[in-house]
């Protein structure tokens, strides 16, 4: 993704149906390159909070538990 913006935009546009120009603009505006960091409780809580908003606004009726989606096995390497 980091060095293949056009290919990345094409893949996401095909997967989502959103115009590839949106993804290219997003990459252009993104100030920080992607970096891998250890997972912290705040990241999980932020995702859980977003899930609660989806339920609150009736985007979904399903309960969502964010914690099982996170994998902390690489924390030592990423620290």
Per residue in 10-51, pLDDT tens? 998 898 888 899 889 888 887 667 788 899 999 999 999 988
What are the residue ranges spanned by the domains of the chain? 1-34, 41-78
Reduce the secondary structure of the chain to three states and give it as a string. CCCCHHHHHHHHHHHHCCCHHHHHHHHHHCCCCCCCCCCCHHHHHHHHHHHHHHHHCCCCCCCCCCHHHCCCCCHHHHC
Q: Residue 31: what pLDDT? A: 63
pLDDT at 2: 73
What pLDDT is recorded for position 55?
Answer: 87
What pLDDT, in 10s, does the model give residues 42-79?
999 999 998 898 888 888 888 889 999 999 999 899 98
């Amino acid at each position: 993704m980091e060095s293949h913006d056009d290919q990345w935009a094409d893949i996401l546009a095909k997967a989502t149906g959103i115009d590839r120009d949106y993804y290219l603009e997003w990459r252009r505006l993104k100030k920080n390159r992607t970096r891998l960091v250890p997972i912290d409780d705040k990241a999980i809580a932020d995702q859980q909070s977003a899930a609660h908003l989806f339920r609150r606004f009736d985007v979904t009726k399903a309960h969502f538990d964010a914690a099982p989606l996170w994998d902390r096995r690489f924390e030592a390497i990423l620290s």
